[in-house]
Amino acid sequence: MDFLEQPPRFLFFTGKGGVGKTSLACATAVRLADSGRRVLLVSTDPASNVGQVFDTQIGNRLVTIDAVPGLTALEIDPEAAAGAYRERIVGPVRGVLPEDVVRGIEEQLSGACTTEIAAFDEFTGLLTDDALIAGFDHIVFDTAPTGHTIRLLQLPGAWSGFLESNDNGASCLGPLAGLEKQRQQYRAAVAALADPLRTRLVLVARAQASTLREVARTHDELAAIGLQRQYLVINGVLPAAEAAGDALAAAIVAREARALAALPGAVAALPRTQVPLKPFNLVGLPALRALLDDNAGALSTTPAAPANAPGALPALATLVDELATAGHGLVMLMGKGGVGKTTLAAAVAVELARRGLPVHLTTSDPAAHLTETLEGSLQQLTVSRIDPHAETERYRAEVLTTKGKDLDAHGRALLEEDLRSPCTEEIAVFQAFSRIIREAGRKFVVMDTAPTGHTLLLLDATGAYHREMARHMDKSGITHYTTPMMQLQDPAQTRVLIVTLAETTPVLEAARLQDDLRRAGIEPWAWVINNSLAAASPTSPLLMRRAAAEWAQIDAVRNLHAQRLALVPLQAEEPVGIARLQALAAGQRHS
Amino acid sequence: MKTIHIFDPALCCSTGVCGTEVDQALVNAAADLDWARQQGARIERYNLAQQPLAFAGNAVVKAFLERSGQDALPLVLVDGEMALAGRYPTRAELARWAGISALPVQAVGSDCCSGGKCC
């Protein structure tokens, strides 16, 4: 366990959602605490589930975990942090300024930028506030999904430089303007992150080609901003012994070995640990302690009861039949990162296109590998990606050529500087999203969305946009208009498919996402359980135990959460290309 | 030298590039104010969304907000006295308030106005 040797003060676990970084961060924190260290475990994930893992209510404050002496946990909730920030600004003038003015300020401070910045501010505080962290030997961060993490970590560098070079004070720091005095703190945070004696970054991945490619990208980006000291953990590797007598297990073992052999050079050179797949779910203290214990898997050798047959659960293609009857519309696949939204979006798009329907498949996932998944093309099917960098550049260029065309050189430079603000990307991506969903009146638009936290921020941006647009429209006397939010809320125009895995935590997270969507007035149309072992009928003892464990979760989804449900079996081969996507949609496990 | 105080409506940022649509008036205002600063004018801007206390703490501004509402912003004070409301000042106005004498000839030689005839 290289990544646990002589750990520095700060440990970061990062990786695509669903790879198990929360479990690893929790297990690491427990292990360090068990060895007598005082440990603070911090989650910065907008959809944190550290509380679930320890079966303790945590939240945005320090909570001691009674079952583990020496362990304290904290969840940084970006929404709560934004609320506190908002209150610091608005509180003093409430009752002093007119009520509608106060409401206007609150609305202005309810956007995505405020949330991002407030959460970042909390995070910086933890890295630099000695009084706060003095009592802890180690601080273990279970960071947010990759795209988000990169932004979070890139910001200190960007902003410290920005604050330094910006001497006229008129520039667009957005809500950060009020925090300008904390320059020193941001610089200290950057220094702590880049110092290998203080900070260790653990990249977590599964032995899958796409996940490993992404981890290589993350490695490069983080190394470029100064985080050189990185470790790699490959989680959930199926032990080779399981391959005997089970074609599915053999295919998985071979596939994982191939993926690891093809590990990109920069990450192949990192100190690496492989954590074997366990026959149990990683919830509760005994499971966490067993995760990093090499002998624990062998403790439970009792064969599992044979898995139930998948019964009458429909395949994805059955849902597509019903979707196809509308002839057009917006189909959004939503769920935590790593549950396979991109693959399923591609499968849905391919199925619709095969039925002769016009389809535009697109993704707003900052860590998208959609075009890599869909090798090949069908008539009727167009594929595009909302690339945050490209969108931001396009937006900057557009503003400069339209709004900036009459400015003199100095004014132009000022506008250019403002367009480098962190908010610009959010707006650019959102505009691209709004533009593409308009096509759904004529054809099918199938989108995989970004990971949950980001998705919700995006929706929040849609809401703010809706209010602003409605205000403009009312002023100019236009009475008939459709905003993106109205389109998302209309079940005749938009169908949301929630994607999850048949495991405890992913199902809870998906249920939470459904609640959030309902609060926003959006009713999910169906659920899809992806990568199901139960649907794949394995015979290897370890896989059978995991398949049997899935049924409680499948039943929970069917009975408590989903209006419609489809089950997608775990694939023996990575579902890349049209033929394999078709097989996946049909519910076959082999291509 | 007189001091110019500008009380902005609730903005994400001073050029408005953070809004869902960039407001041309804000982009121009940011450039004009920056120009005046370069000429030595003393200008301070307050954003209702970020510094509401500056609005609440100034009797003239507070009374203006109560009387006319936030839609009537921006409000410009020169040495504490109301000078302009409802729009941003032009370069000529800024120059007069700040006592800037030499106004540069407007955009000579630009594509739009070549040949000495403005479009």
Q: Does the structure show a pLDDT above 80 at A364?
A: no
Active site residue A505: yes
| pLDDT for position A421 | 65
Widest CA span in chain A: 77
Beta-carbon neighbour count of residue A350 at 10 Å? 28
Residue with token string 């653990």 = A202
Range with the poorest average pLDDT among A333-337, A442-446, B12-16: B12-16
Using the 8-state DSSP alphabet, how is residue A198 labeled?
A: T
What token pair was written down for B116?
A: 């000495």
Determine the average pLDDT of the residues in A325-335. 93
> Structurally, how many domains does chain B consist of?
1
Element (H, E) at A84: helix A78-90
What would the two tokens of residue A188 be? 């200290």
Count of all residues that appear for chain A in the document: 591
The pTM (predicted TM-score) of the whole model is: 0.69
**In 3D, which of A336, A291, A289, A281 has the Cα closest to residue A52?**
A281
Q: Is the CB of A326 inside 8 Å of chain B's CB atoms? A: no
Catalytic residue, chosen from A14, A23, A143, A494, is: A23
Question: Which residue in the set A102, A104, A172 is minimally distant from B18, CB to CB?
Answer: A172
Q: What is the pLDDT of residues A510-567, one digit of tens each?
A: 998 898 788 778 899 999 999 999 999 899 999 998 898 899 899 999 999 999 999 9
Scanning the structure block, which residue is given the tokens 């930028």?
A113
Reply yes or no on whether the pLDDT at A6 is more than 60. yes
Which of these is catalytic: A22, A28, A462, A500?
Answer: A22
Q: Which residue has the higher pLDDT, A67 or A190?
A: A67
- Taking contacts as CB-CB distances below 8 angstroms, the residues of chain B near A403 are 22, 24, 27
Q: Highest-confidence range of A143-157, A326-340, B39-53, B60-74, by mean pLDDT?
A: B60-74
Q: How many H helices and E strands in chain A?
A: 24, 15
* A20 in active site: yes
Give the domain extent around B49: 3-116
CB contacts of B17 in chain A (<8 Å) are: 172, 399, 415, 418-419, 421, 423-424
The answer to whether residue B104 scores a pLDDT higher than 60 is no
Reduced DSSP (H G I as helix, E B as strand, rest coil) percent helix, strand, coil of chain B, to 5: 35, 20, 45
Positive or negative, the Cα torsion across A551, A556, A557, A563?
positive
CATH of the domain at B36: 3.40.30.10
Interface test with B, best of A415, A460, A462, A465 (most B CBs within 10 A): A415
Delimit the domains of chain A by residue range: 6-200+279-293, 316-585
Q: What is the pLDDT of residue A433?
A: 79
- DSSP string covering A452-486: HHHHHHHHHHHHHHHHHHHHHHHHTT------HHH
- What band does B110 get if pLDDT is binned at 50, 70 and 90? very low
Coil, helix or strand at residue A413 = helix
Range ranked top by mean pLDDT from A139-153, A313-327, A367-381, A444-458: A313-327
* Residue among A337, A360, A340, A341 at smallest CA distance from A350: A360
C-alpha–C-alpha distance, residues A102 and A316, integer Å: 49
With CA atoms as reference, the chain B residue closest to A462 would be B20
What is the distance in angstroms between the Cα of B98 and the nearest Cα belonging to chain A? 18
pLDDT band at A464 (very low <50, low <70, confident <90, very high): low
| Residue A424 confidence (pLDDT) | 74
**8 Å CB contact between A100 and B52:** no
Whether A346 contacts A370, CB under 8 Å: yes
Beta bridge partners of A139: A10, A40
pLDDT, position A242: 92
Q: Of the ranges A413-427, A495-509, A570-584, B48-62, which one carries the lowest mean pLDDT score?
A: A413-427
Is B65–A98 a contact, with Cβ atoms under 8 angstroms apart? yes
The predicted structure's pLDDT at residue B105:
46
More confident of the two residues B119 and A91: A91
CA A43 to chain centre: 13
Average pLDDT over residues B24-34: 87
Task: Report d(CA A206, CA A37) in Å as an integer.
Answer: 29
pLDDT reading at A495 higher than 90: yes
Helices (H), B15-90: 24-38, 52-56, 59-68
ipTM, two decimals, is 0.75
Do B13 and A108 lie within an 8 Å CB cutoff?
A: no
With CB atoms and an 8 Å threshold, state whether B13 touches A469: no
**Of the candidates B31, B52, B70, which has its C-beta nearest A89's C-beta?**
B52
Structure tokens at A551: 């049924």
Q: How far is A281 from chain B (nearest CA, A)?
A: 44
Flag if A414 and B30 touch (Cβ within 8 Å): yes
| Amino acid sitting at position A446 | V
Which residues of chain A have a CB within 8 Å of the CB of B27?
A: 403-404, 407, 411, 415
How many other C-beta atoms can be found within 10 angstroms of the C-beta atom of residue A273?
Answer: 19
Q: Poorest-confidence range of A423-432, A448-457, B37-46? A: A448-457
Over residues A104-132, mean pLDDT: 73
Nearest CA in chain B to A463: B20
Contact A561, A511 (CB under 8 A): yes
SS3 B87: coil
> Across the A/B interface, how many CB contacts are shorter than 8 Å?
138
**DSSP letters along A220-273, please?**
HHHHHTT---EEEEEEEEPPGGGGTT-HHHHHHHHHHHHHHHT--HHHHTS-EE
A283 and chain B in contact, CB less than 8 A:
no
Q: Tell me what the pLDDT averaged over chain A comes to.
A: 80
For the ranges A54-63, A77-86, A157-166, A272-281, the maximum mean pLDDT occurs at A272-281
Quick check: helix, strand or coil at residue A285?
helix
Rounded to the nearest 10 degrees, what angle do helices A112-128 and A423-437 cross at?
A: 140
Residues A192, A199: Cα–Cα separation, whole Å? 7
Helix (H, G, I), strand (E, B) or coil at A526: strand
Q: Between A93, A410, A412, which is nearest B38 by CB?
A: A410
Angle at Cα A540 formed by Cα A537 and Cα A543, nearest 5°? 65
- Contact B14/A411 with Cβ under 8 angstroms? no
Percent of chain A whose pLDDT exceeds 70: 77
Could you tell me which CATH number the domain at A6-200+279-293 has? 3.40.50.300
From A179, A76, A190, select the one nearest A128 (Cα to Cα): A190
Alpha carbons within 13 angstroms on the beta-carbon side of residue A585 total 24
First to last CA, chain A: 36
A443: alpha, beta or left? (left if phi > 0; alpha if psi -120 to 50)? beta
Instruction: Assign a CATH topology to domain A316-585.
Output: Rossmann fold (3.40.50)
Phi-psi region of B116 (alpha: psi -120 to 50; beta: other; left: phi over 0): left
Instruction: Answer yes or no: is pLDDT of A454 > 50.
Output: no
Token pair belonging to A213: 């490619």
